[in-house]
Structure 1
Amino acid sequence: MAIRSLRTLIASSLLALSATAVQAETFVFTAIPDEDETKLVERFQGVADYLEDKLGVDVRYIPVKSYAAAITAFRNNQVQLAWFGGLSGVQARALVPGSEALAQGVEDQAFVSYFIANTSTGIQPADNLADLKDDFKGKTFTFGAKGSTSGRLMPDFYLREAFDAAPEDVFSRVGFSDNHTRTLRLVEAGTYQVGALNFQVWNKELEDGNIDTDKVRVVWQTPSYPDYQWTIRGDVNERFGDGFKDKVRQALLDLNDPKLLESFPRSGFVPASNDDYVPIEKTAKALGIID
């Protein structure tokens, strides 16, 4: 009896230690650096606090310096969840079998990019991008980050489709600003004459009074496409307990804090799946950005 009791005590202790280890794990997430770092830290620290309360585990947000760094952190299990753009999400999920798109913003179901121009160019808004070919020819142009869906992939695709030429063959100089806010500032200042950026960044900066519309204007809007999403690694249940992935999904879908949503800016989050981003994958393959 004594031996049996000892065995029971040891088994119970091991189970308790195992449970404590699970509870002691920190759930870590990141986000692509598509805007000014100060804004991102403020936004995602709020998300970390929210998730910690909902999930019952320690949650930490870590900033990264590039889109590639966000993908690498996800691949290496340095983070278990990430707020990716359409393209970076496709790239990350391809590297981590079983990873899954959980939720997207309401606005991400039909996202668009804006082409903007410094007003000194005299370029006027057009309904068709092809009508701007002569206006764009010889101007300077900046994308956002090289891995950006709304700042590079889709603008690049539509330029090639409309002009039957690579951007480098249309513009006198093509650059990469690294984020949407910087694209806006560079075009507004005239450092680049034309650029492409996320429509949500433009709209939020306009709403906040941070755009001089005497210096920069929107000249064309792309057709819609799926974009940002929360993507989670497929092994989180093994690390944080059965049902953890579903708990994260539900917490994201239930996020309704007006201040937090406004910081994205999104009106809310809806379910997403990997299949939603097949159009992004096909476009990236067509441009040779991914294999």
Structure 2
Amino acid sequence: MRLITGLLVALMMSSPALAEPTLYFTAIPDEDETSLEKRFSKVADYLESKLDVPVRFVPVKSYAASVTTFRNNQVQLAWFGGLSGVRAREAVPGSQAIAQGAEDQKFRSYFIAHKSTGIEPSEGKLPKAVTGKTLSFGSRGSTSGRLMPEYYIRERFNQAPDEVFSRVGFSGNHTRTARLVETGTYEVGVLNYTVWEKMVDNGEIDTDEAQVIWKSPTYPDYQWTIRGDVNERFGDGFKQRVQKALLNMDDPELLETFPRSAFVPASNDDYKTIRRVGRETGLLD
């Protein structure tokens, strides 16, 4: 009897169903893989120390994949862009935006151009001189690298991007967009303003080859979104504990990897503009 009891206890202890649950999270692949791994491995360590549960970062290859892993409950938390966050929350009812960077309340896209275009920076409207040039967006699902820039292009010219530009491509992420314009592979590009400024500050882009020609109006963007069923998996109050941990993140070195000065509370209502623009441009079903 003792042997049987011992075997049953050992079996129960080794059962995955009874193992300590792990919090899995992901992030949109908006920068090169090395930058993402550096940033989010540190985030995993930080959250694990605050939440007292194992925390693992799950890298994905595309914006669409980040939404899919969230929908399928392969991850319970995600660092989304504005549009991907809206898509994820619509796919998983009850999910909530819980934190955003202080800078994400008033985010921007930068239009950049290669020196060969001769396009001068404009503080007014998007320069008409971009007409007929080649254009690189970032990812197809990017808020700052596709959704909002397309909205502003349509607003300025009353035409779709492929009617304004001679060729339109998708680089896949913001750093790659900057590189493509710097080398002249594309004449014009649009990207996340924080990525551009970070590259400039770090000496990673030659501003004699490419420069900012227009800064968009502001809009809400990146945020942390959590599934609505996390308390069932991790216990009562877990969602609030995750939010508190994110809002209390104050390590300057960790925040700089985003780069953000701090995280502040966020809600689903903050992204009504993104939902509206997504529907108007046909990028949100």
User: How far, CA to CA, are the matches of 2:235 and 2:64 in structure 1?
Assistant: 29
Structure 1 residue 195 and structure 2 residue 154: aligned?
A: no
Deviation at 1:23, TM superposition (A): 6.4
Structure 1 position 128, deviation (Å): 2.5
- Does structure 1 residue 70 correspond to structure 2 residue 85? no
Unaligned 5+ segments in structure 1 are 1-12
1:8 counterpart residue number: none
d(CA) in 1 for partners of 2:207, 2:73: 43
- SS of the aligned residue for 2:139 comes to coil
Is the contact between residue 129 and residue 159 of structure 1 (CA under 8 Å) also seen in structure 2? no
* Aligned 8 A contact 1:115 1:197 in 2: yes
Number of the residue aligned with 2:206: 212
Q: Write the deviation string for residues 150-206 of structure 1: whole angstroms up to 9, x where unpaired.
A: 000000000000111111111100000010000000000000000100000001001
- 2:75 equivalent in structure 1: 79
Q: After the TM superposition, which residues 76-155 of structure 1 pair with which residues of structure 2 at under 5 Å, given as runs?
A: 76-130=72-126, 132-133=127-128, 135-155=129-149
1:117 and 1:207 mapped to 2: Cα distance? Answer: 18
Task: State the TM-score, normalized to the length of structure 1.
Answer: 0.92
Matched residue, 1:263: 257
Q: Which residue of 1 aligns with 2:175?
A: 181
Tell me the amino acid that sits aligned with residue 55 of structure 2: V
TM-score normalised according to structure 2 size: 0.94
Q: What's the counterpart of residue 41 of structure 2? A: 45
Amino acid at match of 1:107: E
Letter in 2 for 1:158: Y
Shift of residue 93, structure 1, vs aligned partner: 0.2
Contact residue 23 and residue 240 of structure 1 kept, 8 A: no
> Aligned letter for 1:211?
I
- Kindly provide the CA deviation profile for residues 54-108 of structure 1, in whole angstroms up to 9, marking residues without a partner as x: 0000000010000000000000000000000000000000000100000000000
For 1:185 and 1:86, locate their aligned partners in 2 and report how far apart those are by CA, in whole Å.
Answer: 24
Match of 1:241 among 211, 215, 235: 235
Q: Say which SS state the counterpart of residue 189 (structure 2) adopts.
A: strand
Shift in Å, 1:129: 2.8
Q: Give yes or no for contact 1:51–1:251 (8 Å, CA) kept in 2.
A: yes
* Percent of residue pairs bearing the same amino acid type: 65
Indicate if the aligned counterparts of 1:22 and 1:241 stay in contact, CA closer than 8 A.
Answer: no
Which is higher, the Rg of structure 1 or of structure 2?
Answer: 1
Structure 2 gap ranges (5+): 1-8
Q: Counterpart of 1:24?
A: 20
Q: How well do the aligned residues superpose, as a CA RMSD in angstroms?
A: 1.4
Separation in structure 2 between the aligned mates of residue 21 and residue 68 of structure 1, nearest angstrom: 29
1:3 corresponds to = none
- Moved segments of 4+, more than 4 Å: 20-23
In 1: Cα distance, 2:123 partner to 2:201 partner = 24
The equivalent position to 1:169 in structure 2, one of 159, 163, 166, is 163
The amino acid of 1:245's aligned partner reads: K
